[in-house]
Structure 1
Amino acid sequence: MPLHLPRHLETALWEHVQREVPCECVGVIGAQGAALRALYPLRNIARDPAHRYLADPASLLRALRAMEQEGLTLAAIYHSHPHGRARPSRSDLDLAEYRVPYLIADVERHDLRAYLLPQGEEVELTIDERGTDFS
């Protein structure tokens, strides 16, 4: 099933990516049904944040509670690769915990892709210019 990311959320995601360079960023996206509605940047607490990400549990919990209050559900997780391609790394595959698409942003090539992890299957990702609900 394709993932339709509204342009304003894509813009917010890339702004978060740029704020964190040279480190990896991490965040989650909430949806109402199939419509992606909100982006929640999280704090990366990995020991080597330039090459790994680990979402701060407290900021993840705050984001999940905010989604619940707004009537949203967890729809996707995103993170960046400042020094690598928009493909899952070994640690991305090993640490995948949620059954939602994982978006990976390649900072150098400005490439954004989505995958189901830990399988590594790519998910079709489209940028919705209008912010239309495709559900």
Structure 2
Amino acid sequence: MLRIQQDCLEQTLSHLQAVLPREGVGLWVGKRGQVRQVWPLENVHPMPQKRYEADPQALTMLLLRIEREGLELVAIYHSHPTGPARPSETDRSQAFWRVPYVIFDMQSGEVRAYRLPEGDEVVIQLEVATPKV
């Protein structure tokens, strides 16, 4: 199960909307399935409207930073500008990390997470912060 607070979800959506009509990609970072930070990456794929590829140098630097800061790679997120929120064959074939892959359908607003390449769905729990009184 992935747990994410509203502000991290909003940061993710803001990033993905800003890069439309391209696919967006980034990392959810935290501990034990709890997303604490959103780290957007640049999509450097030659056909960014249909595929994504994180900038390899930036990805390597962020992975080293995760390790240095004692954090974990909780999930990898990306968008499908024209849907659906389901993994494509390319998504499955290029799933190299053993973390959930979160897919945002930018047309319907649907969000789903999967363990790839298997395709098992992962539950995403939205944690609403309780206001301090």
TM-score w.r.t. structure 1 length?
Answer: 0.91
Deviates more, 1:6-15 or 1:33-42: 33-42
What displacement does 1:11 show?
Answer: 0.4
Q: CA offsets, 1:10-57, max 9 Å, x none?
A: 001000110110000000111123322111101111111000001111
Amino-acid identity (%)? 40
Aligned to 2:54: 55
Aligned to 2:39: 40
Unaligned runs of 5+ in 2: none
What displacement does 1:63 show?
Answer: 1.5
What SS does the aligned partner of 1:14 have?
A: helix
What displacement does 1:96 show?
Answer: 0.3
The 5 A counterparts of 1:58-77 are 58-77=57-76
For residues 34 and 106 of structure 2, what CA distance do their matches in structure 1 show?
25
Counterpart code for 2:49? A
What displacement does 1:99 show?
Answer: 0.5
Q: CA offsets, 1:101-128, max 9 Å, x none?
A: 0000000011111000000111111211
Task: Provide the alpha-carbon RMSD of the alignment.
Answer: 1.2
Name the CA shift for 1:79/1:56 in 2 (closer, same or farther; >3 Å).
same
Paired positions, count: 130
Deviates more, 1:24-33 or 1:73-82: 24-33
List structure 1 runs of 4+ shifted beyond 4 angstroms.
Answer: none
Aligned to 2:11: 12
TM-score w.r.t. structure 2 length?
Answer: 0.93
Higher relative contact order (Cα pairs below 8 Å, separated by 6+ residues): 1
Aligned to 2:120: 121
Q: CA offsets, 1:52-108, max 9 Å, x none?
A: 001111111121122223221111000000012100011000100000000000000
